[in-house]
Amino acid sequence: MKNIIYATLLLAAMLAFGCYNNANLNISVNDTDSEYTYTAVYPISKTDKLEAYLDRELNNELPLDEHIDTFVTLVNEEKFNLKASKGTLSIKFDKKNSSIAGYVKIKKLTDGISEILK
């Protein structure tokens, strides 16, 4: 009887740990005529790599381990909205009031983000 109780507790602990695992990755891209939206839910363990990539690509230090909601200016003075916290990232780019070069830069940036998170 004692062994059954221990086995049940061990099984419950393993199941709880397996459900808590943050290895899931969910990336969503919505590209319409007026807006480009990129959303990622990723393992928290990849936050540092993602932060280093964004810092390098944007020449801007963004603390992704905090809750941020800011507009980031690209090299050509175009802006996009970036929202982030540990494990989540959202980018919204207004295509109507921006150039094709800005769109290409955002697209390249988000493609790089996807590669970092995979």
Residue range 19-24: mean pLDDT, rounded: 56
Over residues 74-88, the pLDDT tens digits come to 877 889 999 998 899
Q: Is residue 65 part of a domain?
A: yes
Over residues 28-57, the pLDDT tens digits come to 999 999 999 999 999 999 988 999 999 999
Structure tokens at 17: 């740990």
CATH of the domain at 81: 3.30.1360
Phi, psi of 79 (to 5 degrees): -120, 155
Q: Is residue 91 part of a domain?
A: yes
Structure tokens at 15: 């199941």
Beta strands per DSSP E along 10-117: 26-31, 35-41, 68-73, 79-85, 88-94
66 neighbors 82 (Cβ within 8 angstroms): no
Structural domains counted in the chain: 1
| Residue reference for tokens 């790599």 | 49
Containing structural domain, residue 31? 22-117
Looking at residue 61, its pLDDT comes to 83
Q: Is residue 14 part of a domain?
A: no
Q: Is residue 1 part of a domain?
A: no
Q: Is residue 4 part of a domain?
A: no
pLDDT band at 6 (very low <50, low <70, confident <90, very high): low
